[in-house]
Amino acid sequence: MQLIGLTGGIASGKSTIASRLASHGAVVVDADRIAREVVEPGTPALAQIAERFGDGVIAADGSLDRPALGAIVFGDPEALQALNGITHPAVLAASTERFRAAAEADPEAIVVYDVPLLVESANEYPFDRVVVAHAPAETRIHRLVTLRGMDAAEAERRIRSQATDEQRLAVADDVIDTGGTLQQTLDQVDSLWERLRAAS
C-alpha cells in the first residue's frame, strides 16, 4: 500500500484532485468527513466534549452545536488545545483503521488521505508522498467570492488563518498547480497517477 497525503489551502482545488485520483482507482480517505463522524451523537468524543465544555455545546437533537463550540474555542488557545486533544486522537484512530482496511482489501492500494490541515497539525502519518494543491492566493480569493458567495474580506481572512503557501510547499513531494484551466489540473493529476502506479 502507498499512503499519499493530499493537502492544500481553502479553494485550492484539492477536492478536484481527490475525485480525479478516486476515478483512477485510488482509495480516498477524507479527514474532514472523519472529523464529523467522530463527534456524532453517541460517540465517546462527543461525550468528552460535553464534559469539558458543558451541555451548551450540544444541540437539542443531541448533535454537536458547532457554532456554540466555535464561539468558545476560537480566540482561546487553551480551549482549542483541549478540543484538539479530544478530537485528534479519535480522527487518528478512525483514519488508521480506514488505511488498514484498504491495505487488507488490496495490498497494492494507493490510499489518498485528503487532509486540509496536514501542515497545521502534527503529522502522525508515515506518508510515502505528500501532494500539495497550489494556486495563487488571488485565484483562491476569486474562487471563494464567485463560487461560494463569500465576501472578499472573509475570503482573505480564511486564507490567512491557514498555513502559508511556503509552509505547504516546503513539505511537498509533488505540487499540482491548479491556477490554470481545469484540464491542465486534470492532466497533472493523470501524470501523478501514472508515477504512483509505476512506484507500486
Statement: residue 122 has pLDDT above 70:
no
Question: Which DSSP string corresponds to the chain?
Answer: -EEEEEEE-TTSSHHHHHHHHHHHT-EEEEHHHHHHHTTSTT-HHHHHHHHHH-GGGB-TTSSB-HHHHHHHHTT-HHHHHHHHHHHHHHHHHHHHHHHHHHHHH-TT-EEEEE-TTTTTS---S--SEEEEEE--HHHHHHHHHHHH---HHHHHHHHHTS--HHHHHHT-SEEEE-SS-HHHHHHHHHHHHHHHHHH-
Q: Categorize the per-residue pLDDT at 163 as very low, low, confident or very high, splitting at 50, 70 and 90.
A: confident
Q: What pLDDT, on the 0 to 100 scale, is given for residue 120?
A: 76
Dihedral Cα 43, 44, 48, 54, nearest 10 deg: 30
| Helical axes 77-105 vs 44-53, angle rounded to 10° | 180
C-alpha cell at 61: 437533537
Sign of CA dihedral 64, 122, 118, 105: negative
- Per-residue pLDDT tens digits for 5-41: 999 999 999 999 999 999 999 999 999 999 999 999 9
2-199: CATH topology: Rossmann fold (3.40.50)
Q: Position 62: which residue type?
A: G
pLDDT bin (cut points 50, 70, 90) of residue 116 is confident
Task: With cut-offs at 50, 70 and 90, classify the pLDDT of residue 118.
Answer: confident
pLDDT in the model for residue 126: 83
pLDDT of residue 179: 95
Residue 77 has a pLDDT of: 85
Q: 65 with 58: CB under 8 angstroms?
A: yes
Q: What is the CA radius of gyration of the chain?
A: 18
| Mean pLDDT for the chain overall | 93
The pTM score is 0.88
Over residues 57-78, the pLDDT tens digits come to 999 999 999 999 988 987 788 9
Between 197 and 117, the higher pLDDT residue: 197
Torsion of CA 10, 13, 16, 20, to 10 degrees: -120
pLDDT for 124: 67
Question: What per-residue confidence (pLDDT) applies to 75?
Answer: 78
**Which of 28-37, 119-128, 146-155 is predicted least confidently?**
119-128
pLDDT at 186 over 80: yes
Residue 131 pLDDT: 97
Query: Would you state the cell numbers that stand for residue 7, as one nine-digit string?
Result: 493537502
pLDDT for residue 175 is more than 90:
yes
Q: Which long-range contacts (CB under 8 A, 24 or more apart) does 22-26 make?
A: 22/112, 24/190, 24/193, 25/110, 26/110, 26/111, 26/112, 26/193, 26/196
